[in-house]
Every structure is written in structure tokens, then in C-alpha cells.
Amino acid sequence: MNFNFSKFGQKLNQRDGIVELMDDLGKAMSTHPDMRMLGGGNPAAIPAMQEVFRRRFDEMSQDTQAFDKMLVNYDGPAGNPRFLSAVAECLSRETGAALRQQNIAVTSGGQTAFFFLFNLLAGEFADGSHKKILLPLAPEYIGYANQGIGTDLFIAQPALIEETGPHEFKYHVDFDNLQIGDDIAAICVSRPTNPSGNVLTDAELGRLSELAKAHDIPLIIDNAYGNPFPGAIFTEASPLWDEHIILTLSLSKLGLPGTRTGIVVANEKVIEAICAATAVIGLANNNIGQAITAPMLESGELIALSRDVVRPYYRERSERARRIAAEAFGDSTPYRIHVGEGAFFLWFWFEGLPITTRELYRRLKARDVLVVPGEYFFYGLENQWKHSEECIRVTFSQPEPVVREGLEIIADEVRRCYAM
């Protein structure tokens, strides 16, 4: 049988970027237990968090009526009313904004939220115009790249690079060259940025917010790792919300990726559109994550855990991984790591690397180490940027022996490449 796919079907079936990454991760987990999994974004199993979630399951199982309802019933497409109210009240306390239940919608994970948002706001319009999402700081999250129903959905601005130490650097938004034309439907940033762990300063975020407001377009902030939860952020960064801002959060990075619970905070018109999309695409969302965390949001426990458990856990992991990297690479190998400001990753820059990082990825995979090549994070650029072929993303959320072995192999392979 010859199955012919539509243009959209062909686009979804592209074997690169997030598809290749998830395919390799899945195969490695099921058929290659010795693979050092330094490529994914899976959170660590933090013992203190796991204990809390097990406790919540025990509590939930005692209320048989509520437990059965959670498993048997569909919620509305916006989500569970108790959970929506808990999120609105929590974020109102943390941001100072007057949020209501009508400003909140649940999606089947953050990835689904962005599929809805990008295609609701950008693409082809009834008047024949085509609008795009502006990414003001490339590199940006790999998972956005292929989400457009149509093509040519993104335009990206290369980051400014500040060399902050012998083996360290930091990205900044290049405001002097940032152009927002009539073809821009929205501005989108992740904070902390996946892959680099860069955290836009409050001043940078405020400036982007003012630019979006001046051009009467939304500013989308992907807060999957940020404040107030899960709190995997190691520098000062205030949560921000306004009528023109669309904020997304997730339960995944708290340690609940299996519940597939994304959260969109936005103007009621946007929330209504998200709910309609959910009803059409999936009827309703997963109830379990909402049931686990609703009372934790109401009591403030989730914010306290984010501050006192999640943040220090990943900060310590980040610092330890950097020490291991320094030992593995030494001073003779050209390398830099982005300043550690949040998220779960080391973002390496090998300036002048004689091969692309896609080739480096293949070589490391043959040595039982999975990373993510940097090229996948630089989509939407108008011009080729050599920097995009010199970076890799490495997670430090895996157990320390895996991280150490993986970084030692990476350092050895990079030295071989420079010696070619």
C-alpha cells in the first residue's frame, strides 16, 4: 500500500530535531541500557519530591469518590475547576496580578500548548497575509521548530555573546538589531532558555514586554523551568504577567512529566481559543497531575518545595557538573559553557570545531553517549551562523556517575576532533 501524506503530514514526519531526539532516547531506554542519556530534558527523580508525590497518591486513594471521579470522568477542556482556581490564586500571590480562573487553561503538556499558541497566532490569515513568531534570542528551544501547520513560522535573532571567563560565556538579546515588522504575530522566549540555561534579566524581559505592547502583539514566556514553580532558576528573576503576556508553565519539571500537564495563563480570548483547540484535538486533558497538585498549590506547599527542594537540588547538580567538565576538559581544550542560570543543561561552545556538532553527535552516539547537536536550536535565522555548528546541549539531571562518564567521553572526542 502506498500511503501519500499531505504537506502537513510530511512536515510532521521529518526525521530531525525533536523527532530524532525522542526516537533515539526511546530506543536507548528500551534496547540500550548502557547508553549515557545526556541528551534529553527529563527531570531527575528527586527523592524528596518523589516522597511527596507518593504521599499525595496515598491521600487521594483514601477518598474513594474523588479518586474514582479523577479516573473515570472527563473534565472540561479548560481543566479541573479546583486546579484552575488554585493556579490563578497562586500566581496572583506571586506576581501581584489579578488573575482569575478564566485566565487559566490546561493542555496536554507544554509542547501541546505551544502547538496551539503558534498556530492560533501565526501562519496564513484570511486576508492572504503571513505572520511569524519572533524569537529574539537564538538559540531557542528545539521543540518549537516544527510546530507550524504551515512553513516558515519563525524568524530568529542571533544572540549577542559575552565572554565572561576563560571557559564561560553568556547570551544577551541584541536589541539594536531586533526588528518587529507588520509580519510579526508574537514574540516568544523561554526563561530559563532551553538549551543554554540563560535567564533573561528583568530589564530585558521588561523591554521585550514594552516592545510587544507597543506593536500590539503578545509576548509569550515559556516558563517550564522558571518561577514560581518548578523554580529551577539560580539567579534573580521576577515572574511577569500582563494582559498582552501569555505565560506557560508545566508540572513536568517538578518531577511529573508522565502526567502531561501544561498550563497557559493568558487573556480570556486566548484561553477560550485554547479550550476550543483542546476540545477538537483531544476532548479533555489528563486529570492526574491536576489532582495531585491542586491542594499543594492552595496550601503554598508547591511553592515552598520549588524554593527549598527543586532549586537547590538543580543548582548543586549544575555546579557539580561544571566542576566535572573542568576536570575532563582541562585548560588545553578550547571549550566554553554558558553561565549556569537555570534549567537542567550544560550548553557547550567549541569555537572553531573542525566538524559540525551533528557529526560530533554521531561520533558520541557510537561511544554510548547521547547529547543534542546545537544546529537544531538555531532555526529561523536569515543567515548561516557558524556558532550554530559549534554547540551541544548536555543534561546534568542524570546520576553523577553517568554525567561524569559522559563528560569524560565528550572531552576525549572533542580533543580528537581538534587534533584532526
Max Cα–Cα distance, the chain, nearest Å: 66
Alpha helices in 219-299 (DSSP H): 268-282, 288-299
Instruction: Write the DSSP string, 246-264.
Output: EEEEESGGGT-GGG--EEE
3-state secondary structure of 324: helix
Given a cut of 90, is residue 419 above it in pLDDT?
Answer: no
Strand partners, 36: 369
Given a cut of 80, is residue 32 above it in pLDDT?
Answer: no
Alpha helices in 96-233 (DSSP H): 110-121, 202-214
Q: How many CB atoms lie within 10 A of CB 318?
A: 23
| pLDDT for the residue numbered 151 | 84
pLDDT band at 22 (very low <50, low <70, confident <90, very high): low
Choose the weakest-confidence range: 74-78, 309-313, 335-339, 357-361.
74-78
**Is residue 323 packed enough to be buried (19+ CB in 10 Å), middle (13-18) or exposed (0-12)?**
exposed
State pLDDT tens for residues 80-93: 999 999 999 999 99
**Is residue 221 packed enough to be buried (19+ CB in 10 Å), middle (13-18) or exposed (0-12)?**
buried
pLDDT band at 190 (very low <50, low <70, confident <90, very high): very high
Q: Calculate mean pLDDT across residues 282-290.
A: 91
Which residues, other chains included, contact 311 with Cβ-Cβ below 8 Å and sequence gap of 6+?
A: 231, 232, 233, 234
Given a cut of 80, is residue 27 above it in pLDDT?
Answer: no
For the chain, the average pLDDT equals 92
State pLDDT tens for residues 46-60: 999 999 999 999 999
Place of cell 567538565: 325
Q: Which domains does the chain have, with CATH numbers?
A: 7-48+305-418 (3.90.1150.10), 74-299 (3.40.640.10)
